[in-house]
A and B are shown apart, each in its own frame.
Chain A
Amino acid sequence: MMATRADRRAAAAARHRLLPGGRLAGPMPWIIAIMMFLTVLAAAAALGLGAAVRSMSADLAGRASVQVVEADAQARDQLAARTLQSLRGADGVRAADPVDPAKLADQLRPWLGEAATSGDLPVPALIDVMLTPGDTDAKLDRLRRLLSGLSPKLRIEPHAAFLLPLAGLLTALGWLAAGVVLLMILATGAVVVLAARGAHDSHRGTIDVLHLMGSTDVQIARLFQRRIGIDALMGGALGFSFAALVILLIGLRLSATGSDVVGAVSLDTRGWLLLVALPIFGVVLATLTARWTVLRALGRAL
């Protein structure tokens, strides 16, 4: 005979009565909430830093700055104009644009003060060069040869060279965060094992009675895995909600800095989907771990 919805509700209520203790009653959901909060934050850091490194690599891979190091302003401007023309006609160059001297002076002002705009200091002229994709090193070598033929006062600096240590740091931090996620998952599993063992021990009397009435191990394990799964669901939802709030607030603060590098630490839709998957994964992990733990404990009895 097919079970009605009322039947299923009544059966669920009966199963719930069999293992006493209300939802969110014990420490388990709260511990899972805290662990999920930290796991989601660590995962967000790993994903955000990974995105920053990828964005930085994509931005820097084909870019370089050409410096026109000439003390005389007039000669500098003339050399910059010739260099720009040569670069625009060079093979492998997608774009070459002079950096606005006013913007350059703005960036130097914190270090040089008003001297940056006075013209007293021989600030080099800069040309931003964007290469066509692929084979960057060979193209940079060709440009070096081209520029040295034009003037010994020209220098080319690939952007990747001076931002490489920062990219390395971000990559290392990203891996560290990923490691923290892994450790938190292992710790969550361990917490569930301890909780399931504790629940099994504290309900030993009921379990013995159920066994002697002919309950199978799977029937008994199902009681525990349901309870722990519900705890994990509630704890996971709570932890994820708080973590999402914190991530949004941090995102607002990061974008407020106006820094390209810091602003690149961001989460795309795929990143958010991965974060949402974490509490779901947590519930599945907790349920399966509880089942495995209880079945192992029951297997030791007759």
Chain B
Amino acid sequence: MSAIVQFENVGLRYGLDSETLSDVSFSLAGGGFYFLTGASGAGKTSLLKLLYLAQRPSRGVIRLFGEDVVTLPRKRLPGFRRRIGVVFQDFRLVPHLSAYDNIALPLRVSGMEEGEIDAPVVEMLNWVGLGDRGQARPATLSGGEQQRVAIARAVIGRPEILIADEPTGNVDADMARRLMSLFEALNRLGTTIVVATHDLPLIAQVSSAHMMRLDKGRLADPTGSLRYPPRPPQDKP
């Protein structure tokens, strides 16, 4: 499959500090399922920020969907961002909007007519098991429910890449398993999934996933092709 994401010698520095990410190079194939692991502070969130275009790198080249996004004019960024769904570590639900309105946000941003919004939002609410909580504000939802609203919002626009930052950090083991099942279902529909986590048992649930490991801002597996769980020796080419 062709690469949907390519990083070449990417470095990221905040202000005058030392580099948070150094010489990061990898490529992600379209339709793949990737885990990004590493200890806290290894640079997972920074790498994801580069991926969902919240940050430009200090150096290096990033290609998304075949285009160099580092030199991309600012006005063209929204078009790329609409092709990416993000589940933030802190959910980032809009607090004064209902679950329904939060999920509908990407559709409204993309300019969909109001009359066409209701059906997919209701479908998505049911899909994440919140069919009866549509009018609830985020503050009245549990952590797991907020997580599911965030996921529903990230996937409702049928993104080509879904990026999730520690999506199971606030939910119990059962909910974590269910979330992974959701991600696998999306992946089967063709969405490229990138999940940042340091929860190794979670990674073990997805047998088809590749794993990338960050260590102090450097990618321990520069090919981005490590599998988890590791393949048996006889399977290796």
Contacts and interface: CB of A to CB of B under 8 A. Distances in A.
Interface of A: 1, 3-4, 6-8, 10-11, 14, 17-18, 20, 205-206, 208-217, 219, 299, 302
A208 B92 contact: yes
Interface stretch (B20-28, B47-55, B140-148, B184-192): B47-55
Given A6-B115, A7-B114, A209-B92, 5 more contacts: A14-B104, A14-B108, A17-B97, A208-B92, A211-B78
A214 B104 contact: no
B161 to A, nearest CB: 13
B109 A302 contact: no
Nearest to B102: A209
Contacts, number: 72
Interface of B: 52-56, 74-75, 77-82, 86, 92, 94-97, 101, 104-106, 108-110, 113-116, 157
Given A6-B115, A11-B114, A302-B55, A209 B94 contact: yes
Nearest to A4: B115
A14 B108 CA distance: 9
Contacts of B74: 299, 302
Nearest to A210: B109
A7 B115 CA distance: 6
A215 B82 CA distance: 8
A237 B160 CA distance: 49
B82 A302 contact: no
Contacts of A212: 52-54, 81, 86
A214 B110 contact: yes
Contact of A20 (B92, B96, B106, B108): B96
A17 B100 CA distance: 12
B160 to A, nearest CB: 12
B81 A14 contact: no
Q: Which of A4, A206, A213 has the most CB of B within 10 A?
A: A213
Contacts of B113: 1, 3, 7, 11
A39 B62 CA distance: 54
10 contacts: A1-B116, A10-B115, A14-B114, A210-B105, A212-B54, A212-B81, A212-B86, A214-B106, A214-B110, A302-B56
User: 10 shortest A-B CB distances, which residue pairs?
Assistant: A214-B82, A10-B114, A214-B81, A214-B78, A7-B114, A20-B96, A216-B78, A215-B109, A213-B109, A11-B114
Contact of B77 (A11, A18, A209, A302): A302
Nearest to A20: B96
Contacts of A205: 92, 94-95
B159 to A, nearest CB: 10
Given A209-B92, A216-B78, A302 B54 contact: yes
A211 B104 CA distance: 15
Interface centre among B74, B104, B157 (most CB of A within 10 A): B74
A265 B110 CA distance: 57
B216 to A, nearest CB: 25
Contacts of A3: 113-115
A219 B115 contact: no
A47 to B, nearest CB: 45
B94 A18 contact: yes
Given A206-B94, A208-B92, A216 B75 contact: yes
B91 to A, nearest CB: 10
A6 to B, nearest CB: 7
A143 B110 CA distance: 82
A3 B111 CA distance: 11
Given A3-B114, A11-B114, A205-B92, A213 B53 contact: no
A211 B105 CA distance: 11
A215 B77 CA distance: 9
